[in-house]
């Protein structure tokens, strides 16, 4: 896999930042969850397409509705992006739901549960020895 150039990395960061602002402040679609954040953005080197990874706080139904809302708002977001960022080509946006944050929260909860269970067992073992 080819490494991103410095220019491509900067474009990715700028598109991610601007889309985050646009989704949070400019988008009026009721299907889009207000707790939607742009996690990452991968713009193709030819600037034709961009994969936008989003995270939605909520249930699976809310995530599906948000993806549909963002897909229908993609032309508006693309035109606003063209006004805010001066690029030769404004990329076509494809939104992908990213579950990594939710996965991390679930794993942290499981680890905390195991640690609490181990502490309870140690305390029960110490009280039996006395």
For 20-79, how does the pLDDT look when each residue is reduced to its tens digit (9 = 90+)?
999 999 888 899 988 898 999 999 989 899 999 999 888 889 889 999 999 999 999 999
Regarding whether 126 and 84 lie in a shared domain, the answer is no
Domain that holds residue 113: 100-130
Structural domains in the chain (count): 2
pLDDT at 100: 77
pLDDT at 1: 40
Q: Is 93 a domain residue? A: yes
pLDDT at 13: 94
The CA distances from residue 50 to 8, 15, 36, 45, in Å, are: 11, 9, 18, 10
Regarding whether 48 and 20 lie in a shared domain, the answer is yes
Q: Is 1 a domain residue? A: no
Q: Is 114 a domain residue? A: yes
Kindly give the interhelix angle for 6-21 and 60-84, rounded to the nearest 10 degrees. 110
Query: In terms of C-beta distances under 8 Å and separation of at least 24 residues, what long-range contacts does 69-78 make, across chains too?
Result: 69/27, 69/29, 69/30, 69/31, 69/32, 70/23, 70/29, 70/32, 70/36, 70/95, 71/95, 72/29, 72/31, 73/27, 73/29, 73/32, 76/27, 77/19, 77/22, 77/23, 77/27
Helix, coil or strand: residue 38: strand
Regarding whether 69 and 123 lie in a shared domain, the answer is no
Regarding whether 126 and 63 lie in a shared domain, the answer is no
Regarding whether 82 and 22 lie in a shared domain, the answer is yes
Regarding whether 31 and 60 lie in a shared domain, the answer is yes
């Amino acid at each position: 896999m080819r490494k991103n150039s410095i220019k491509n990395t900067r474009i990715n960061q700028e598109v991610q930042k601007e889309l985050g602002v646009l989704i949070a402040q400019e988008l009026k679609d009721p299907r889009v969850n207000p707790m939607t954040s742009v996690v990452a953005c991968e713009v193709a080197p030819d600037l034709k397409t961009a994969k936008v990874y989003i995270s939605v706080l909520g249930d699976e139904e809310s995530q599906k509705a948000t993806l549909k809302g963002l897909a229908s708002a993609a032309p508006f977001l693309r035109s606003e992006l063209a006004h805010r960022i001066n690029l030769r080509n404004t990329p076509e946006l494809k939104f992908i739901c990213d579950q990594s944050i939710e996965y991390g929260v679930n794993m942290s909860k499981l680890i905390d549960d195991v640690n609490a269970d181990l502490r309870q067992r140690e305390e029960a073992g110490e009280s039996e020895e006395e």
